[in-house]
Structure 1
Amino acid sequence: MTPQEFDAFYTASFSRLTGQLYALTGNWSEAQDVVQEAFVRAWDRRRTFDLDSAPEAWIRTTARRLALSRWRRLTRGLQLAGRHHREDPPVEPPTDEHLMVVAALRELPEAQRTALVLHHMCDLSVEQVAAETGAGVSAVKSRLARGRAALAAELTDRNPTREEGKLRV
């Protein structure tokens, strides 16, 4: 891959991937950091990095794993130090609905949240979600069904006065 091809790929996909990782992590700065690190890793292997074989999926998977690894290290470090994690103040999203969806997603188990974001926000098929997460197709379908139900309940609890169906994930 030429540097120009990589630059075009980066320019075309960085914002989209950062938005997707924000939905997974709930932290805009963390999302930017892990996506940037994933691109650095892709650049390091640019000679073998193939733009024809789902490069965004590779970046997204790498960034998701980096975020999970960072979270685990932070949790372990805080447990060892005996301190409590103080959460960063939330970054104001563009709309109240966006904030509600991200907050509701954060309440879901990671497997359900990941399946929902990859399927609905990244427009991946069930089979692609299965391949990216290493889960079986039936497990992904189950996570999607349970995740949708849990997300609907979370959103209803957060804003019971809204008409049902107005908020879309």
Structure 2
Amino acid sequence: MPAPPRAVSGGKQVVDYEEFYRREFGRMVTLACAVSGSWLTAEDVAQDALLQARQNWDRVGRYDQPGAWLRRVTIQLASKRLRRARVEAAALLRLGSTPTPLPPGPEEVETVLAAIRQLPRQQRAAVVLAYLEDRSVREVAEIMGCAEGTAKAHLFKARASLARILGEGDQR
């Protein structure tokens, strides 16, 4: 049984960091994988995001939704890793070398993740938050730092693209 949140001055509740870590780590790995497109770096990204949360826990732990802050940091870190990987891949191609392929996961999961990886970064993040984490459009918008209408647009475009991508795979 997890410990109840501890009270702090000003009436705010702070969740115990260890409880927060246990609850959020797996979710952040999934989010980081969907955004960065790499299972190999997702765990590192999740660890880095949770480390930032730990280093700032006196402040983050007092937020109404510390998980939203963590998701925003995770998306930013995963996006940064993705940009870095693209630059490295381009450099390897210029040098005539090819990057090592990622090990495949279970076929169905890999098919869906491959389709999600084809989406633009904001659509990938919105899909993971809404469908893998079962968050409302309002929560998606808050976490991504955009208007609800923008979050809805990301989700609408992502669903249309995923239907097209996954539909094409079924016809082969």
TM-score (ref. length: structure 2): 0.78
The equivalent position to 1:131 in structure 2, one of 122, 135, 142, is 142
CA distance in 1, matches of 2:88, 2:21: 33
Alignment partner, residue 9 of structure 2: none
**Alpha carbons of structure 1 residues 80 and 105: separation in structure 2 relative to 1, 3 Å:** closer
Q: Which runs of 5+ in 1 are unaligned?
A: 162-169
Which of 119, 143, 162 is the aligned partner of 1:108? 119
Q: Residues 130 and 21 of structure 1: is their aligned pair in 2 closer, same or farther, counting only changes over 3 Å?
A: same
8 Å contact kept, 1:78–1:84:
no
Which residue of 48, 63, 71 maps to 1:60?
71
Alignment counterpart, residue 122 of structure 1, candidates 133, 144, 147? 133
Conserved? CA contact 1:21–1:60, under 8 Å: no
1:47 aligns to what SS in structure 2? helix
Distance 1:103 1:31 in 2: 15
1:126 CA drift (Å) = 0.9
CA distance in 1, matches of 2:160, 2:70: 29
Instruction: Say whether 1:91 aligns with 2:111.
Output: no
Percent of counterpart pairs with the same letter? 30
Which residue number corresponds to residue 166 of structure 2? 155
Aligned residues: 159
Q: SS of 1:124's equivalent?
A: coil
- Residue 138 and residue 89 in structure 1: after superposition, are their counterparts in 2 closer, same or farther (change >3 A)? same
Distance 2:101 2:79 in 1: 20
Q: Measure the CA separation in 1 of the matches of 2:131 and 2:65.
A: 17
TM-align CA RMSD = 2.6
Output the TM-score relative to the length of structure 1: 0.80
